[in-house]
Amino acid sequence: MRMPELTDLIWLFEDPPTPMEPDLSWPWGLHTFRLTRGSRSVSFSLDPQAGEAYLMLYESDELLLSLGRLRTLSHLTVEKDALILHFAQDDLAPLTLRTHPVPSVTWPVRPAGSR
Successive 10-residue mean pLDDT values, the chain, 115 residues: 94 96 88 97 95 96 95 94 94 94 92 66
Q: How far apart are CA 76 and CA 51, in angstroms?
A: 10
Give the H/E segment covering residue 79: strand 73-79
pLDDT of residue 113: 65
Q: How far apart are CA 45 and CA 50, in angstroms?
A: 12
Q: How far apart are CA 63 and CA 81, in angstroms?
A: 22
Is 16 strand, coil or helix? coil
pLDDT of residue 112: 63
pLDDT of residue 110: 73
pLDDT of residue 22: 87
